[in-house]
Structure 1
Amino acid sequence: MQFTEMQELALWKAIADAANERITTRPKGGANLRTEIDDSMIALYETTGADRVKLKLHEQEVGTLSLTFTKPKQGVEMRVTDTKKLVEWLRTTDEGADVLSTIICGASCQKAIVDAARDYGFLPDGCAMVEVDEPKHYKGTMLKVDGLKVARAMAGELPSAVAGLLGMGEVE
């Protein structure tokens, strides 16, 4: 079947929406297929240390699912401890004015203030240097699937239109 560009767009959007309901890592209605699989990956990692699995269809490898991690942090970093003192420092000192002019064009969070002050070499009033020792922790998972490999693995079981969408062309 040949689609007009508008029909193809509608079809892709419907497929994407249906797929997203199953694979989003932040489902609106609670758990979904992806969050359940992610939970099982965390359990696998905690019990065996394995941080990735191969995805197979009909004994053919079609992709991987792997845990991703934050980088460990250790050292000393500046943190805001008293917002009122920090604001006063920003308003009444030349250094604070320098920091404000650096961040005023978009960034408006405490981290941006602390980063700018640190870059200037200042420890503003209302901030303190604190010890940091955060081990790596789960950040999420990364899913990689090759659509063409899926289409080949499922060759006789997919409608030809679906196989074509996966990049295989018409399947007889």
Structure 2
Amino acid sequence: MTAAQADPQIPLAKLPETPLIERPAVADGAALWRLAKDSGTLDVNSSYSYLLWCRDFAATSAVARGADGTPVGFVTGYMRPDRPRTLLVWQVAVDAAHRGRGLAARLLDDLTARVAAERGLTAVETTITPGNTASERLFTSYAARHGATVEREVLFRTEQFPDGPHAPEVLYRIGPLSF
């Protein structure tokens, strides 16, 4: 659950072409799977899971579309069942041709503003593997833009992953948020 190759240091206003950001549709599932696969840093889930995600969690996810309507970035998330005002951000990815323009930050800002308006939102959580500086910057800059604090703790240790070596996942809790 991390951001892939995001660069939140670039001001959002520098996007030369402003992609449309909206809820994903099932038809976007294959493109989201390809973006995750092409990121080179995300844990890629099955293509089936991206189709389901676009169907079942579209209200808590966002897709950025290029001028031709093709997805060029996405953020997926869900509301935590035991914390219904907390959005867990699962994955963030931006196509290589659109990186370095603040699109990941814009996706995250747009999504959380929408979720806050529709469902109420007081916190954002994500996990980041140590050394993923792009994700660390994306989420710490998000917290700074929203005047929130960031708490960190190891959520899953290396030895808890059954499928081979995997870096630990550090939980980032960002809040309280007010919109």
TM-score (norm 2): 0.24
Between Structure 1 and Structure 2, which shows a larger proportion of helix residues?
Answer: 1
Name the structure where strand makes up a greater proportion of residues: 2
* Largest Rg, 1 or 2: 1
